[in-house]
């Protein structure tokens, strides 16, 4: 069951807070509990589905709790510690930071996306990496780190395209990287190096 399906089973939109997940589960679990609906196979199946969805979301929430995410994102503490996880991505590093403007579940979505992105980049699965960050950017359009990850994914795919001799594709993705994060000086330096490599090939 995907995270999106879990939300749907619980009657919630993606991005609902953890408290909303718990509240919805308690209400629906009481409604479909086998003791309340004896002999009703549909209610029994629905109850099982609710439990699976709820516990899956709780399981997903565990890593977030371990990195110190706030439990009530609508009222974050004024001195909330910023947890940063860094993984090497060429010379430009992608970073994960808690964003107090996001709900708990949006933070979870972002964190899981970050970890998946690092795996895709490490395995050089660049189309998957780009598809992932594009989807994250649609879900979290105001998050600056996600926009940065997008640019890094495009830049890495462009660099890979140079190495494999697909120079037209390299130009396309390097230019996209600059359009997505135009004020990132570190990224500009990386892309300039890549364009110099392109010129040397010619």
3-class SS shares of the chain: helix, strand, coil, % to 5: 65, 5, 30
pLDDT tier for residue 90 given thresholds of 50, 70 and 90: very low
Is the domain spanning 3-66 CATH 1.10.1760.20? The answer is: no
- In the chain, where the domains are located: 3-66, 84-201
140: Cβ–Cβ under 8 A, 6 or more apart, which residues?
A: 102, 106, 109, 110, 146
Rounded to the nearest integer, the mean pLDDT of the chain is: 79
pLDDT in tens, 53-65: 888 887 776 544 4
Is the domain spanning 84-201 CATH 1.25.40? The answer is: yes
More confident residue, 164 or 38: 164
User: Across residues 121-130, what is the average pLDDT?
Assistant: 91
Beta strands 84-87 and 94-97 are antiparallel
Q: 32-46, 65-79, 94-108, 141-155: which range is least confident on average?
A: 65-79
């Amino acid at each position: 069951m995907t995270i999106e399906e879990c939300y749907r089973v619980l009657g919630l939109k993606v991005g609902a807070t953890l408290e909303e997940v718990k509240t919805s589960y308690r209400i629906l679990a009481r409604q479909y509990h086998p003791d309340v609906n004896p002999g009703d196979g549909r209610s029994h199946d629905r109850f099982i589905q609710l439990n699976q969805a709820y516990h899956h979301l709780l399981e997903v929430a565990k890593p977030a709790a371990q990195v110190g995410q706030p439990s009530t994102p609508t009222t974050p503490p004024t001195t909330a510690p910023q947890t940063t996880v860094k993984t090497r991505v060429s010379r430009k590093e992608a970073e994960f930071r808690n964003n107090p403007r996001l709900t708990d579940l949006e933070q979870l979505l972002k964190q899981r996306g970050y970890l998946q992105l690092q795996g895709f980049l490490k395995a050089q699965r660049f189309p998957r990496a780009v598809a992932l960050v594009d989807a994250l950017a649609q879900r979290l359009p105001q998050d600056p780190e996600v926009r940065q990850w997008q640019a890094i994914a495009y830049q890495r795919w462009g660099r890979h395209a140079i190495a494999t001799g697909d120079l037209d594709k390299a130009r396309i993705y390097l230019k996209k990287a600059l359009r997505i994060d135009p004020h990132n000086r570190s990224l500009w330096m990386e892309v300039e190096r890549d364009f110099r490599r392109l010129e040397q090939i010619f």
